[in-house]
Chain A
Amino acid sequence: MLRGKGWRISFFDEMTGQEGGTRSPYREYCEWFDAEDSQRIQHKTQQAEALFRTTGITFNVYGDADADERLIPFDVVPRIISASEWRRLSRGIEQRVRALNAFLHDIYHRQEILRAGRVPTQLIARNDAFLPMMMGMDPPGGIYTHISGTDIVRTGANEFYVLEDNARTPSGVSYMLENRETMLQMFPELFAKVAVREVGDYPINLLKSLSACAPPKCGGTPTVAVLTPGIHNSAYYEHSFLADHMGAELVEGHDLRVVDGRVAMRTTQGYRAIDVVYRRVDDDFLDPLNFRPDSMLGVPGIWDVYRDGGITIANAPGTGIADDKALYSYMPDIIEFYTGEKALLPNVPTWRCSEPEHLREVLDRLPELVVKEVHGSGGYGMLVGPAASKKELAAFRAKLEANPGNYIAQPTLSLSTVPIFTKKGLAPRHVDLRPFVLMSPQGITITPGGLTRVAMTRGSLVVNSSQGGGTKDTWVLED
C-alpha cells in the first residue's frame, strides 16, 4: 500500500501540465491573460488588498497578541477545475461524508465497526474527542456532520488524494465567497467569457440545511443562530459573515441561557428560543455544567436541552473524533464498511506510528516524510522532513520515540502547482483544496469549488494561513 521510495518529486502544474502547454480548463483564461496588460493586473492586485482591508477580511494569529490583524494574501489568478474533474471529486467527497456520518452514528450506537474489527477499539477509547455522553443519542435528523470540509491535494492529471477530513469546525468558507466577490468586482469581463459555476448560494444553502435539521421541539420556522467565541477569535470574521448572510443572529455564550427547557437568546424584548445553533466553539466549551466548568464561552445546561430534543447543535457534539489523523488512515475501510463500495478518492499513504513496524520505517526515513500530530490542526506541531534542520529532526525523533501513538507520517507529496501572479509574471506555487459540504436529511450539497490555499513562497508546501499561506478563487467550469 505504501509507495515509499518511488514517490515522484516532479510537480504537476494545473495550468501547463507537465509539458508546459495550456491544459484545456485554462484555455480561455490564458487567452484573456495573454491579451491583458500585466501592469493593469498588478494594479488590480493592489486594489484587491485594499478591498480586503476595507471589508475587514482579516484574521488574528494565535499567540501573537500584539500583532495587527493580518490579511490572508490573495492571488488574482484563479484555480480552474473542469466539469468532469469536479464530477469525479464531488462523487468521492459525497461518498466520504456519507460514510463519516454513518460511522459517527455507529460509534455512538452499536459500534458494529469495532465489533467487526475493522477499526481498533483503542482508537476510539483513547480519542479525546470521543464523548461518552453521546452514546445512544439521536441527533435531530440523524445528522452529525452538518458542515464539513474535505482537504484534497492533487499530484497529477488524474491523481487526487484526500489529505484530511474536517468535521469539527472547518473554516474558510467566507474566504471562498469573498474571493469570488473580489474577482467579480475586479475582472467582470472574465466571467462573461468563461462559464464559471456559482458559489454565492452557500449561505442560503447553509440556512436551508440547518433549518432542515430543526429539533423535535421546534414549532414553526426554525430560528438559527451562529455561536461565536467573540471578536477576538481568529475566525470571527467568518462567524459574523455567515450569520449576516444567513440573516441569523450571531450570539456569544453570555447572550444565551436556558429558559423553560429551551435555549434562548437575550433580545431587546426578552428571551427568545433558538432552534438550531451553528456553533463555532469546541465541544469542551459548550456547556460548563456538563463539560469544562471553567468555560465562559458556552451555555450552562445546553446539553440537557439537546438531549431532550430542544435544540440542534451543528456539528453534533462528539463529531470531532472523525478529525483524528490516526483514524484518517482507516477511512478506506470505513467507507467500504458503510457503503459497500471502494473509496472513490484515495487516502494519502499513511504510517501509523502507534504500530511498531510503521514507527521503525518512519524513523528510518524521517528526512523525507511529513509527520503530524494525531490531534493537531492548522499546521502546528508538524515536521516537514525535507525542510527540517538536523536539529529539528533529532528533536522530533525524540518526540516520536517518547509518544509514538501521537503521530502519523506521510510521504512528502509532490503537490500540484497553480501559477500565482508575481511582479515578474506567472510563477508556480503549491496548492491544496478545501471543498465545503453541507449535509441534512434532505441530502448533501457541495459548493462547486471550495477554498484553494496556496503556499506563497517558492517551493514551500505549507499552505496554512496561520503559516503565511494565501488563497485563490476556485473555478469549477460549467459543462
Chain B
Amino acid sequence: MLGKTAASLFWMARYLERSENNARLIDAGFRIALTRSQTAAAEWKSVLVTAGVDRAFVAAHGDYSSARVVDFLLRDPANPSSIASVIKQARDNARTARTALTREVWEAVNTNWMTLTALLKRPVRDDDLPDVLTAIRQQSAQVRGALNGTMLRNDGFNFSLLGTFLERADNTARILDVKYYLLLPSVAHIGSSIDNVQWETILRSVSAHRAYRWLYGAEISALKIAEFLILYRQLPRSLAFCCERMEDNLAQLERGYGEETEAGRMARALCNERLSSPIQAIFDGGLHEYVTAFLRANAALARQIEHDYRFVE
C-alpha cells in the first residue's frame, strides 16, 4: 500500500472520529447551557478547551454565548476542527484513498459530507440542534458500518482503525484533563458524590452515562468515573479499550509486513505501563500528570506510525 494511501485512511478515520466527538461535546455543553444558564459560560469554555479550540474562539469572539460557541464548533470555516471543516477533510482524504476503499465506504463518506454540508449551510437554530447532532452521529455510524461490513481486513483497514482509536483516545484523555479538578478526591471529598450534572456531562460526552449506571448503579464517585474512562476495557471510548485496539492493529500490521516496528513497541508499552496500574495508584501519582503524560505518549505514537509506515517524506 502506498504511504500516502495509508496516511489518507488514517486521517480520514481521525477526522470522522473528530466530527463525532465534537458532536458529543456540543451535546453535553448544550444540555448544561439549557439547564443551568449561570454556569453555561464555564461549561462552554471547558467544551472549547477539550476540543482544543478555546484560544482561537476567544480571539475571534470573546465571550461565550451558546449561539456563538455552537456555530464556531459546527460551521466556522476559520475553525479547522469545526464539524464542517473536518468532514470536508475526511472526504478529501477518502478521495485520495479512493482506490483503497470499497464503494460502500466511499459512498458513506461522500454522503456524510453532502448531508452535513447541506445541514450546516446556515446557522443551526437551537430547536434544530438536537436533530443536527443526531444526524452527525448517524452519518458517522454509517461510515463505520460500511467499513466494518465491507472492507477487506488488510493493512488499509488497520490504518483506518488506528486513526479512529488514536483520535478517540486523545478525545477521552482531553475530557479527563479538562475535568480532572472535578475528579480529584481532594476537592470532592471521599464518600461525597460530585455534582450530578457535572458527572453527567463527562459521561455524556463519551456516550457512556447509561452504561455507567448499568455497571455501577447509583454510586457516583470520582474514582469510579475515572476508573471507568481510563481502565474499563469494555467501554469503547475508554483509554484502555482504545489502546488495546491500537496495539492489536499495529500487531496485525507487523505480522502482515513481517517486520516489527517502533510504533508497535510504543503501543505495547502504552498498554503495559500506563493501563495496568489500579486507579488508586494513578490518583496517587496525580491524575493531571497521568493524563498529560498519556496525551504526550499518544501524540508520540501518532508521529511514530507516520514515520514507520512512510506516510510522508
Which residues on B sit within 8 Å (CB–CB) of A265? 2
> Quick one: which of B1, B110, B253, B257 contacts A56, CB cutoff 8 A?
B110
Tell whether A56 pairs with B309 under 8 Å between CB atoms, given A255-B3, A267-B2, A268-B155: no
Give the interface size class of chain A.
Answer: 20 to 34
Give the contact stretch, choosing among A99-107, A152-160, A244-252.
A244-252
Q: What is the distance, in angstroms, from B39's C-beta to the closest C-beta of chain A? A: 42
Q: Are A268 and B1 in contact, with the CB atoms below 8 A? A: yes
Q: Are B98 and A266 in contact, with the CB atoms below 8 A? A: no
Q: What is the distance, in angstroms, from A185's C-beta to the closest C-beta of chain B? A: 13
Bound together, the chains give a CA A252 to CA B155 distance in angstroms of 20
Which residues on A sit within 8 Å (CB–CB) of B309? 268
Tell whether A267 pairs with B310 under 8 Å between CB atoms, given A231-B92, A249-B2, A251-B2: yes
Q: What is the distance, in angstroms, from A49's C-beta to the closest C-beta of chain B? A: 12
Q: What is the distance, in angstroms, from B58's C-beta to the closest C-beta of chain A? A: 30
Tell me whether A243 is interfacial, beta carbon within 8 Å.
yes
Tell me whether B128 is interfacial, beta carbon within 8 Å.
no
Q: What is the distance, in angstroms, from A407's C-beta to the closest C-beta of chain B? A: 38
Q: Are B114 and A53 in contact, with the CB atoms below 8 A? A: yes
> Quick one: which of A55, A231, A266 contacts B310, CB cutoff 8 A?
A266
As a 0/1 sequence over residues 100 to 125 of chain B, the CB contacts with chain A under 8 angstroms (1 = contact) are 00010011001100100000000000
Tell me whether B127 is interfacial, beta carbon within 8 Å.
no
Tell me whether A221 is interfacial, beta carbon within 8 Å.
no
Q: What is the distance, in angstroms, from B263's C-beta to the closest C-beta of chain A? A: 11
Which residues on A sit within 8 Å (CB–CB) of B2? 249-251, 255, 265-268
Give the interface size class of chain B.
Answer: 20 to 34
Bound together, the chains give a CA A267 to CA B311 distance in angstroms of 8
Tell me whether B313 is interfacial, beta carbon within 8 Å.
yes
Q: Are A56 and B106 in contact, with the CB atoms below 8 A? A: yes
Q: Are A266 and B95 in contact, with the CB atoms below 8 A? A: no
Bound together, the chains give a CA A266 to CA B99 distance in angstroms of 16
Chain A: CB-nearest residue to B308:
A268
Bound together, the chains give a CA A251 to CA B5 distance in angstroms of 9
Bound together, the chains give a CA A336 to CA B192 distance in angstroms of 98
Interface of B is mostly: helix
Tell me whether A240 is interfacial, beta carbon within 8 Å.
yes
Q: Are A54 and B3 in contact, with the CB atoms below 8 A? A: no
Which residues on A sit within 8 Å (CB–CB) of B1? 267-268
Bound together, the chains give a CA A243 to CA B99 distance in angstroms of 7
Which residues on B sit within 8 Å (CB–CB) of A249? 2, 5, 99
Q: What is the distance, in angstroms, from B304's C-beta to the closest C-beta of chain A? A: 13
As a 0/1 sequence over residues 270 to 313 of chain B, the CB contacts with chain A under 8 angstroms (1 = contact) are 00000000000000000000000000000000000000011001
Interface of A is mostly: mixed
> Quick one: which of B92, B98, B110, B114 contacts A244, CB cutoff 8 A?
B98
Bound together, the chains give a CA A80 to CA B170 distance in angstroms of 57
Tell me whether B224 is interfacial, beta carbon within 8 Å.
no
Tell me whether A269 is interfacial, beta carbon within 8 Å.
yes
Tell me whether B96 is interfacial, beta carbon within 8 Å.
yes
Q: Are B6 and A269 in contact, with the CB atoms below 8 A? A: no
Q: Are B95 and A236 in contact, with the CB atoms below 8 A? A: yes
Q: Are B4 and A255 in contact, with the CB atoms below 8 A? A: yes
Tell me whether A63 is interfacial, beta carbon within 8 Å.
no
Which residues on B sit within 8 Å (CB–CB) of A243? 99
Q: What is the distance, in angstroms, from B245's C-beta to the closest C-beta of chain A? A: 19
Tell me whether A270 is interfacial, beta carbon within 8 Å.
yes
Q: What is the distance, in angstroms, from A60's C-beta to the closest C-beta of chain B? A: 12
Q: Name which of A248, A250, A268 has the most chain B CB atoms within 10 A of its CB.
A: A268
Q: Are A231 and B3 in contact, with the CB atoms below 8 A? A: no
Tell whether A54 pairs with B107 under 8 Å between CB atoms, given A266-B2, A266-B310, A268-B257: yes
Which residues on B sit within 8 Å (CB–CB) of A269? 257, 259
Q: Name which of B98, B155, B259, B313 has the most chain A CB atoms within 10 A of its CB.
A: B98
As a 0/1 sequence over residues 227 to 254 of chain A, the CB contacts with chain B under 8 angstroms (1 = contact) are 0001100001000100110001111101
Bound together, the chains give a CA A56 to CA B92 distance in angstroms of 12
Which residues on A sit within 8 Å (CB–CB) of B99? 240, 243-244, 248-250
Q: What is the distance, in angstroms, from A272's C-beta to the closest C-beta of chain B? A: 9
Tell whether A252 pairs with B110 under 8 Å between CB atoms, given A240-B95, A268-B257, A270-B310: no
Which residues on A sit within 8 Å (CB–CB) of B253? 268
Q: What is the distance, in angstroms, from A298's C-beta to the closest C-beta of chain B? A: 16
Which residues on A sit within 8 Å (CB–CB) of B96? 230-231
Which residues on A sit within 8 Å (CB–CB) of B95? 56, 231, 236, 240
Q: Are B3 and A266 in contact, with the CB atoms below 8 A? A: yes
Q: Are B98 and A240 in contact, with the CB atoms below 8 A? A: yes
Q: What is the distance, in angstroms, from A127's C-beta to the closest C-beta of chain B? A: 35
Chain A: CB-nearest residue to B108:
A54
Q: Name which of B4, B6, B95, B111 has the most chain A CB atoms within 10 A of its CB.
A: B4
Q: Name which of A54, A248, A252 has the most chain B CB atoms within 10 A of its CB.
A: A54
Chain B: CB-nearest residue to A230:
B96
Chain B: CB-nearest residue to A242:
B99
Q: Are B4 and A266 in contact, with the CB atoms below 8 A? A: yes
> Quick one: which of B92, B103, B257, B313 contacts A266, CB cutoff 8 A?
B313
Instruction: Report B1-20 residues with CB < 8 Å from chain A CB.
Output: 1-6
Q: Are B114 and A252 in contact, with the CB atoms below 8 A? A: no
Bound together, the chains give a CA A266 to CA B110 distance in angstroms of 27
Q: What is the distance, in angstroms, from B112's C-beta to the closest C-beta of chain A? A: 11
Q: What is the distance, in angstroms, from B4's C-beta to the closest C-beta of chain A? A: 5
Bound together, the chains give a CA A254 to CA B311 distance in angstroms of 12
Sample of 26 A–B contacts (CB below 8 Å): A53-B110, A53-B114, A54-B107, A54-B110, A54-B111, A54-B114, A56-B95, A230-B96, A231-B96, A236-B95, A240-B95, A240-B98, A248-B99, A249-B5, A249-B99, A250-B98, A251-B2, A252-B4, A265-B2, A267-B2, A267-B3, A268-B2, A268-B3, A268-B309, A268-B310, A269-B257
Give 12 A-B pairs besides A55-B107, A240-B95 with Cβ atoms closer than 8 angstroms: A53-B110, A54-B110, A54-B114, A236-B95, A248-B99, A250-B2, A255-B2, A267-B2, A267-B3, A268-B3, A268-B6, A268-B253
Q: Could you tell me which A residues sit within 8 Å of B by CB distance?
A: 53-56, 230-231, 236, 240, 243-244, 248-252, 254-255, 265-270
Top-6 shortest CB links A-B: A240-B98, A268-B309, A244-B99, A266-B3, A243-B99, A250-B99
